[in-house]
Chain A
Amino acid sequence: MSSVLVHAPHAHSGAGVGGVMATVMLALAPATAFGFWAFGWPAIYLWTVTVLACVLTEAVCLKWRGQHALPRLADGSAILTGWLLAVSLPPWAPAWLGVVGAVAAIALGKQVFGGLGQNPFNPAMVGRVLLLIAFPVEMTTWVAPHPLGSSGAPDLWAAAGITLGGNGYDAVTSASLLGGFKTELTRGVEGASAIAHAFAPLSNGLAGMRAGSLGETSAGLLLLGGLFLLWRGVIGWQAPVGMLLGVLVPAAILHTTHPDTTLPVSAHLFGGGLLLGAFFIVTDYVSSPGTPAGRLVFGLGCGLLTFVIRNFAGYPEGVAFAVMLMNAMTPLIDRAIRPRVYGRDRRGRSLPPLGGDKK
């Protein structure tokens, strides 16, 4: 016989934070596994170190804040942050890069604001942007895929050398599509259009055999993961669709007017981190608006900013910056965009009674 005063409802759907995080990880797993295969042991090392560093940082911060670390760690949010950060790093980046990013993401991006649910910015993007500004060389040193088992792939020991010290690295660097295009464009139109033409949407894009971040290259598997999340109802369609439209529509228009100096739509879609961003970054609950309509606006904003940065700014890729800028807009969007309340009009006034507005 319970004498405790408990409020209704006395039933629950069974949903839980841990379950949500686990579903997102499951959706992210195929693309990550592809990254492991394509970039070999250094990528696996980097991912492991980054995720562990995130979990450890979270545990230390929680202890400092006087909370039970275990139940909070069990929700998996720190693992997911580490995972997202790791898949946005160059696959052969040194381990310390991952650790610095992880500490920044969890400590500065999340725990200083009060932990889960309180952070205004996407923690993984905080880590990534910090690294991008502080260590631009390490963050833009790409390698072409060296699939596990192929002749050029580093073995366990060589990989450890790469991850720990970065030696034997320069020999194999390669340009990413967006970065290479931007660099060539400063030298002349010919080189740039050569890069653009060399890009094959199917094999380089959809299948993912190209230089790029650890988990961003396999567009096909990311799309699959995104559709899985949509099907499970973990994410809404608004933010991803908004983001894709925000990049692709202006990119298509610009490409028709300036075909030589801009990349085609397929390159925007498959050549960078757009799909990873659209399905796994802008859909972050905490730092995006709290209503479906707000999330559409948020996604559109992220997409437009990404498009602007990619085409007109100094950086070749702009997803992380765009997301953080829009994170800052989230409170504003939440203030402005709300669902219509039953029995009220959009401006919050009560609907008139039937048969005119007799009072």
Chain B
Amino acid sequence: MLLALAALTTLGLGLGLLLGTAARLLKVEAEPITAELEAMLPGSQCGQCGFPGCAGAAAALADGRAPVTLCPPGGRDLAQRLAERLGVSVDLSGMADAGPRIAAVDESICIGCTRCFKVCPTDAIVGAVKQIHAVIRDACTGCSKCVDICPTESLHLIPIPVTPQTWAWPKPAHTPVLAKPVLADAGCH
């Protein structure tokens, strides 16, 4: 009896000591994740998330101060990748996602005030004083800064136009024969 108790106690203490030593000696420094998160963010520093630029947002994400759904230009896809990277589960079905969008100028009411291209974080709007401005589609991130500042509301966001080069097959409908079309109800209205 005593022997058994002693043996088990010794075993427990010995193993505990071993584990403790191992934890201290073989400690793996946690990789600073902030830089990696920042690389995943769009990088347009648009500030829509409420943090000062993408670096600030990445720091907030790493500390858990911000939800993965914080970035409107990144959309649902980015939220999903952030959730994967951070190892959090998140319900994205509620996240409104109109897909990636870009700005477009309504040429009939643009007055050529130049305000929009002064705020554009990627220099995606070109023009000059009293000239109609135009958006370079490949450079626009859809951050909506220009939309907010336009005095005549001639700027608005549109979905990126689909061309045969960018068109892709939609996801196939999932299979089970449900008595109640649960998914359709949730998705359509």
Contacts and interface: CB of A to CB of B under 8 A. Distances in A.
Interface string A110-132: 00000000000000000000000
B182 A66 contact: yes
Interface string B121-143: 00000000000000000000000
- What's the interface size class on A, roughly? under 10
Interface stretch (B6-14, B71-79, B172-180): B172-180
Nearest to A117: B175
Contact of B180 (A7, A66, A71): A66
Interface string B162-187: 00000001101000111110100000
Interface string A100-115: 0000000000000000
Contact of A68 (B169, B172, B177): B177
Contact of A67 (B169, B170, B172, B177): B177
A68 B170 contact: no
A66 B178 contact: yes
Contacts of B180: 66
Nearest to A71: B177
Contacts of A72: 177
Interface in A47-98: 66-68, 71-72
A171 interface: no
A1 interface: no
Interface residues of B, number: 9
A5 B170 contact: yes
Nearest to A69: B179
Contacts of A68: 177-179
Nearest to B169: A7
B6 to A, nearest CB: 38
Contacts of B178: 66-68
Interface in A1-38: 5, 7
A72 B169 CA distance: 28
Contacts of B177: 67-68, 71-72
A121 B165 CA distance: 45
A7 B179 CA distance: 26
Contacts of B170: 5
A66 B179 contact: yes
B187 to A, nearest CB: 17
Nearest to A115: B176
Contacts of B169: 5, 7
Interface centre among B169, B170, B179, B180 (most CB of A within 10 A): B179
Interface of B: 169-170, 172, 176-180, 182
17 contacts: A5-B169, A5-B170, A7-B169, A7-B172, A66-B178, A66-B179, A66-B180, A66-B182, A67-B176, A67-B177, A67-B178, A67-B179, A68-B177, A68-B178, A68-B179, A71-B177, A72-B177
The 8 closest A-B pairs by CB, nearest first: A68-B177, A71-B177, A66-B179, A68-B179, A67-B178, A67-B177, A67-B176, A67-B179
Given A5-B170, A66-B179, A67-B176, 6 more contacts: A5-B169, A7-B172, A66-B180, A68-B177, A68-B178, A71-B177
